[in-house]
Amino acid sequence: MENSNKVPQLSRNDMLSHLPAEILLVILSLLPRSDAAVMRCLSRTWRKLYDSVFLSFFCDEFDRLGKKEYMRHVKTTLRRRKEKGLESFQVIWLHKKSDAWLHYAVHNDAKSIHVIYLRDAWEQHILPDRLLYSGSLEELAIYSYSRKPELAVCDMHLRSLRRLIILSLTIDGDFSYLVSRRCPVLKELYFVSCKLEFKELASKSLRNLTIERCCVGTEYTEGSVTINTPNLQHLHYNAVWPDYLRKKQDRLEYVYDIWTKLDVEIPELKTLTLGGLWLTGTIHAVDYFLQKTGSLEHLTFLCNSRAIVSEDISFPCPEDLYSSDLKIKG
């Protein structure tokens, strides 16, 4: 009778090795770590993927593992993507030595880099200079899971960057200026759950702008933001209340103050999605956005139970916007 506790052996022709690295990463993210460790015994590809994720990212074993060994694991798992060199790179930021991984990714002309901060102690998140001057980087995502620390960037020049994603960070005027002036081919910009403390966002190359669950301004500054994007085609703007506004009357005054100071340049806009404070208390803000768009095709409202939007509200719509293109999502 065979021993039921026998450890599974590594197979030379395992089926897991035939799966793309992207699929293996999804499976790895869904499994408990103990089960993932057992799977490590069944597949050479899985073993290398498991080691590259857990040993390099989640544990402080940079010195022991070394760059060359780490890159050998990553390149093996990404072999089936049929792309030359290192194309995609993700760093879980737990310690200062994470800089070395970013430097190596930039040195190998990575086109997509995702940086995830997990440390709560830092008041600022500082990206390495070498990353901010990459000539090959096309997509950059920066995530934070602490209390919206400030993203500190003194200068940058990302001449190939087309997609920028920022989650749970505080963005000041210096950073927005650099994005506008030093990212000449930027097409897509996403702010999610951020504090936006800049006054102006200007870009001639931008086509898609998403501002989702973001707070605009501070208690000591004006809440209005100038959006100067003459070639923008898609705008998703779901603004939330600042934390310091507690009373209903203060919120209504805040909305009125913002929409009267709005300065938006979006003549080529095709798709508009509005939500949050833009739909509370007054419809004038919606009217303003519609007046600024000359060729709008789709309009969507994101509503909750407290938003003051009803069927009897009327406002002037562009002639080419049909009633079927107006959606209200609750």
Q: Please check whether residues 125 and 244 belong to one and the same domain.
A: yes
Q: Identify any residues that bridge with 150 across adjacent strands, giving them in sequence order.
A: 124, 170
CA-to-CA dists, residue 149 to 73, 116, 204, 214, 280, angstroms: 33, 13, 28, 14, 28
Looking at 51, 82, 113, which one is the last position of a domain? 82
Domain presence at residue 3: no
DSSP state at residue 132: H
Tokens of 264: 């938006």
Whether 218 is in a domain gets the answer: yes
Position 236 scores a pLDDT of: 93
pLDDT at 110: 79
Domain-embedded: residue 299: yes
Residue 255's Cα: distance from chain center in Å?
26
The DSSP element (H or E) to which 48 belongs, if any, is helix 44-50
- Residue 137: which of 86, 174, 101, 96 has the closest Cα? 86
* Whether residue 49 sits in one domain with residue 156: no
Nearest to 307, CA basis, from 211, 242, 257, 241: 241
d(CA 31, CA 47): 14
Pair 227, 263: CB distance under 8 Å: yes
Tell me: do 155 and 273 sit in the same domain: yes
**How many domains does the chain contain in total?**
2
Q: Is residue 118, in this structure, part of any structural domain at all? A: yes
User: Which of 59, 82, 105 delimits the end of a domain?
Assistant: 82
DSSP assignment string, 204-253: SS--EEEEEEEEES-TTS----EEE-TT--EEEEEEE--TT--SHHHHHH
Give the per-residue pLDDT at 163: 93
Phi and psi torsions of 176, nearest 5°: -65, -35
pTM (2 d.p.): 0.69
Residue 160 lies in a domain: yes
Any domain includes 152? yes
Q: Look up residue 123 and give its amino acid.
A: E
DSSP 8-class letter at 270: -
163 and 270 co-located in one domain? yes
152 shares a domain with 58: no
Consecutive 10-residue averages of pLDDT for the chain (330 residues): 42 60 63 62 64 46 50 50 50 60 76 72 68 89 75 84 90 84 94 86 94 75 75 91 71 71 84 82 74 84 53 45 50
**What 3-state DSSP class applies to 85?**
coil
Any domain includes 92: yes
Q: Are residues 179 and 268 in the same domain?
A: yes
Which one-letter DSSP state was computed for residue 94? -
38: Cβ–Cβ under 8 A, 6 or more apart, which residues?
Answer: 8
Closest CA to 296 of 286, 306, 310: 286
Same domain, 142 and 247: yes
Task: Specify whether 76 is located in the same domain as 142.
Answer: no
What residues are paired with 264 via a beta bridge?
Answer: 227
Pick the closest to residue 136 from 115, 166, 105 (CA basis).
105
Domain closes at, from 82, 115, 132: 82
pLDDT score recorded for residue 232: 95
In a domain, 179, yes or no: yes
**Phi then psi for 205, rounded to 5 degrees?**
-90, -20
Q: If you count them, how many residues does the chain have?
A: 330
Shared domain for 185 and 221, answered yes or no, is yes
Q: Do 190 and 67 belong to one domain? A: no
How far apart are alpha carbons 195 and 217 in whole angstroms?
A: 7
- Does the CA dihedral 68-69-71-76 come out positive or negative? positive
Residues 231 and 322 in one domain: yes
Query: In terms of residue numbers, what domain contains 140?
Result: 88-309+316-329
- Say what the pLDDT of residue 317 is: 47
Do 159 and 290 reside in the same domain of the chain?
yes
